[in-house]
């Protein structure tokens, strides 16, 4: 869900009584989205992510008895400066405090497949080598297939150090532009 309090509240309400779940928080991070959509600076966009992470964390006690894994995504990762994607992801990590025993998922999308497979893999590798507390993360790929290289993005992303793959089953899911697994 987007880093909006109303959506976070409804998501937590919908999960009450679940045995196991992943709570996925995201917000837009690319320069174009910062400038055109939100009219906000990097610090203001980071503040949205941090506040969203805090709202999620505040509500976790209501999910007592539910095994919860937390997931964050800088939504437009492949269009975002890798240094800023790292900075905003680490700010969320500071709130959620993942550990090597209780990891969080860091979802890194190749949004609308704007990056060529080798570029996306380089971005994944850079994050994996430079992000703090890498052992407390599960780096997850969320590739798209708009340019028909979603499989190549995924394969190279895994070779670059990712741990997990997300996609759709037979094209059914978030949208048919996502990688079909």
Continuous segment of H or E residues that includes residue 96: helix 82-96
Q: Which residues, other chains included, contact 98 with Cβ-Cβ below 8 Å and sequence gap of 6+?
A: 70, 104, 133, 136, 137
Cα separation, 176 vs 155, whole angstroms: 19
Q: What is the pTM of this model?
A: 0.94
Q: How far is CA 82 from CA 10, 54, 142, 171, 181, in A?
A: 31, 23, 16, 29, 26
Cα separation, 153 vs 19, whole angstroms: 33
Cα dihedral across residues 40, 121, 149, 116: positive or negative:
positive
- Span 119-167, pLDDT tens digits: 999 999 999 999 999 999 999 999 987 788 888 999 999 999 999 998 8
Contact 78, 109 (CB under 8 A): yes
Cα separation, 110 vs 120, whole angstroms: 7
Cα separation, 89 vs 137, whole angstroms: 11
- Span 65-102, pLDDT tens digits: 999 999 999 999 999 999 999 999 999 999 999 999 99
Structure tokens at 64: 């007592």
Cα separation, 158 vs 161, whole angstroms: 5
For 154-174, b where at least 16 C-beta lie within 10 A, e where not — what string? bbbbbebebeeebbbeeeeee
- Span 11-40, pLDDT tens digits: 999 999 999 999 999 999 999 999 999 999
């Amino acid at each position: 869900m987007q880093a909006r309090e109303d959506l976070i509240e409804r998501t937590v309400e919908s999960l009450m009584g679940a045995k196991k779940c992943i709570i996925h928080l995201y917000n837009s991070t690319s320069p174009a989205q910062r400038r055109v959509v939100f009219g906000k600076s990097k610090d203001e966009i980071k503040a949205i992510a941090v506040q969203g992470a805090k709202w999620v964390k505040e509500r976790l006690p209501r999910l007592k008895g539910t095994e919860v894994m937390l997931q964050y995504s800088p939504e437009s990762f492949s269009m975002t400066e890798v240094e800023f994607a790292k900075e905003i992801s680490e700010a969320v990590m500071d709130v959620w405090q993942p550990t090597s025993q209780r990891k969080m998922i860091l979802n890194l999308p190749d949004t609308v497949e704007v990056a060529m497979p080798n570029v996306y893999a380089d971005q994944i590798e850079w994050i994996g080598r430079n992000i703090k507390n890498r052992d407390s993360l599960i780096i997850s790929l969320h590739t798209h297939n708009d340019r028909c290289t979603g499989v190549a993005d995924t394969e190279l992303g895994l070779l670059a150090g990712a741990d997990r793959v997300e996609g759709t089953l037979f094209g059914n899911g978030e949208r048919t532009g996502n990688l079909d697994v």
